[in-house]
Structure 1
Amino acid sequence: MSQTESAFANAHPTEQDIAVSIRGVSKNYGAVEALKDMSLDFPRGQLTSLLGPSGCGKTTLLKIIAGLLKHDSGEIIVNGKNVTGPGPNRAFVFQDFALLPWATVMRNVAFGLELRGVPRSEREDKAEKYIKGVGLAGFENAYPHELSGGMRQRVGLARALSVDANVLLLDEPFSAVDEQTRRKFQEDLLSLVANEKKTFIFVTHSIEEAVYCSDQIALLLPRPSRVHEMIRPQIDRSKGVDNIPREPEYLDIVDQIWASLRAYVE
């Protein structure tokens, strides 16, 4: 694996600050090598984006971390323990929402807790907290078909937060919404990272989104996927999503990433 360190990097996190470790992970689909000897660390309490061209294994890696997909070799370590399947320390936010169409917002958000046997009053109290937290207060009794795409994605995010997992895995969660909603989601996501103290692993195709939202960006190259570069943006996000894209530091990192990726974009 070829891995270089960006000029925009902070010091490496210490071992106790690592929430998720990928160690020599490989995954084949028949004769196709999707991942080969992949190694990567995800710092605790931070947001790491997986960024790269289509088909580079971003979603495959995310599903392996979630325990939804078996890897062929290597280790996935979450909070010091090997991953052998799905577990309560990880929650997945799907690109296509994956909501229960026959269930209200309240029941969708509380569903993971319901499966765990949490009493109804307790799970609904927790679900209500996160429904409000993602901006859906007042829609507790609405059904998915009554919501916009952006609202349905908020339900999926609230459901992931409500199960109180340490690690949240987000597979292009903003890809189906318009640009205005996407910008609001990005700001909301940064607030969640700051307030929830969880580890977020975020798949995106957008260089700009990765630079704006991430503490760390893992730049992946096409099959067999490997880490080409680790980038840790140094950006003052207090200026907001409308102003940061005009900042020289932001533009420099976007240009750096595009220079690394352009040879692999068809």
Structure 2
Amino acid sequence: MNMTSATEHAGAPVAPADAPDAIIEVEGIHKVYSGNVTALENINLDFRRGEMTSLLGPSGCGKTTLLKIVAGLLKPTDGEVRVNGAPVKGPGPERAFVFQDFALMPWATVLRNAGYGLEVRGVAKREREERARHYINEVGLAGFEEKYPHELSGGMRQRVGLARALAVDADVLLMDEPFSAVDEQTRRKFQEDLIRLREIEKKTFILVTHSIEEAVYLSDRIVLLSPRPGRVAQIVTPEIDRSGDPEAIRRTTEYLDLIDDIWAGLRTYVE
């Protein structure tokens, strides 16, 4: 386990020489909402190409705010986000957002929901349906193409949202607590599937979660944010071999000790 103190990230983000290159750079981000509520203060981070990074911290620390700023859905009060070196001015095709509440069109089939991002971009129907079917299959929903959202469980609806994000072939997938609305069994299966999909797709994932266990199980790096105003308190690099049996991984000393270490650091923030 590698735990980096926040003081080493007070300036512009610097990656080690042997680290993957940064696809996203977050520099000096501040966010102040109306009423003079400071959500984020001096956030400096990089998100490395092909890695899974989790944003973890107490409720109200600005995790979702930071994710939406990276997505271009919110403008920072100060600072800059760059994707592939270009400043973020709004949403872009290199980033796809998976919403907590699924954000599916209730009147559209699974197939059309999964291909909707491509439809908006003007991709021909045959091509977008072919790509949508491919990713529906990848997320484990083959056979449900003609179903409607109300006919699906919460976990299945979230899989449709993930298929839609994958179908547009964005470099970065931004996920806002994607498993919070599903039961524990579904959540664990979805986590295992996400590891498999990441290996196949070679995408960069940024995940907001409240679950220490989830962050440790999934992540190459975990960014711990302090209570509001959110600052980078610590960056944790799990050293866990995820190639074996998923349940065996969750019983390893490395996994359990890291969960305890992170909780020890976060518990002082919890009232």
2:29 pairs, out of 25, 31, 42, with 25
Taking only aligned residues, the RMSD between alpha carbons, in angstroms, comes to 1.5
Structure 2 partner of 1:257? 262
Structure 1 partner of 2:12? none
Structure 2 partner of 1:125? 130
Sort the Cα spacing of 1:14 and 1:27 in 2 relative to 1 into closer, same or farther, 3 A. farther
Aligned to 2:194, the other structure's residue is in SS state helix
- Displacement of 1:15 in angstroms is 7.7
What is the alpha-carbon distance in structure 1 between the residues aligned to residue 7 and residue 232 of structure 2?
6
What is the alpha-carbon distance in structure 2 between the residues aligned to residue 153 and residue 75 of structure 1?
30
Is 1:36 aligned to 2:26, yes or no? no
- Displacement of 1:13 in angstroms is 5.9
What is the alpha-carbon distance in structure 2 between the residues aligned to residue 250 and residue 55 of structure 1?
26
Question: For structure 1, which segment, 250-259 or 114-123, has the greater mean C-alpha deviation from structure 2 after superposition?
Answer: 250-259
- Displacement of 1:2 in angstroms is 3.5
Q: How many residues are paired up?
A: 261
Asked if structure 2 preserves the Cα contact closer than 8 Å seen for 1:23 and 1:39, the reply is yes
Runs of 4+ off more than 6 Å: none
Q: Which 5+ residue runs of structure 2 have no aligned equivalent?
A: 10-14
Aligned to 2:82, the other structure's residue is in SS state strand
Is 1:206 aligned to 2:211, yes or no? yes
Asked if structure 1 preserves the Cα contact closer than 8 Å seen for 2:20 and 2:48, the reply is no
Question: For structure 1, which segment, 158-167 or 246-255, has the greater mean C-alpha deviation from structure 2 after superposition?
Answer: 246-255
TM-score by length of 2: 0.93
Aligned to 2:247, the other structure's residue is in SS state coil
Is 1:175 aligned to 2:180, yes or no? yes
- Displacement of 1:238 in angstroms is 2.0
- Displacement of 1:176 in angstroms is 0.8
2:59 pairs, out of 24, 31, 54, with 54
What is the alpha-carbon distance in structure 2 between the residues aligned to residue 140 and residue 108 of structure 1?
9
Asked if structure 2 preserves the Cα contact closer than 8 Å seen for 1:3 and 1:230, the reply is no
Q: Which 5+ residue runs of structure 1 have no aligned equivalent?
A: 6-10
What is the alpha-carbon distance in structure 1 between the residues aligned to residue 250 and residue 18 of structure 2?
31
Aligned to 2:195, the other structure's residue is in SS state helix
Sort the Cα spacing of 1:254 and 1:3 in 2 relative to 1 into closer, same or farther, 3 A. farther
